Amino acid sequence: MQLLVECLPLYQGIELIRQPALGEFGVELLLPAGYLLAVGDLALMLAFRRLDRTLRS
């Protein structure tokens, strides 16, 4: 169950806020940031594709 929760974008966003708030800066922040960028890009790509299909019909 923990692995499933860690795959959610909300968890990754919380990690990006929690670690600096605790004074932990470093390369550990790259994983949550990269994950959120990848998920955001995928969601944006899907939204554009769906919008394109909607406008064509």
Take residue 28 and report the two structure tokens written for it: 């550990």
DSSP category for residue 57: -
| Phi and psi angles of residue 24, each rounded to the nearest 5 degrees, phi first | -100, 100
Strand ranges in 1-57 using DSSP code E only, listed in sequence order = none
Nearest to 11 by CA among 27, 35, 37, 30: 35
- The whole-number pLDDT of residue 38 equals 97
Tens of pLDDT, residue by residue, the chain (57 residues): 999 999 999 999 999 999 999 998 889 999 999 999 999 999 999 999 999 999 998
- The whole-number pLDDT of residue 46 equals 98
- The whole-number pLDDT of residue 57 equals 83
- The whole-number pLDDT of residue 48 equals 98
3 state SS of 2: helix
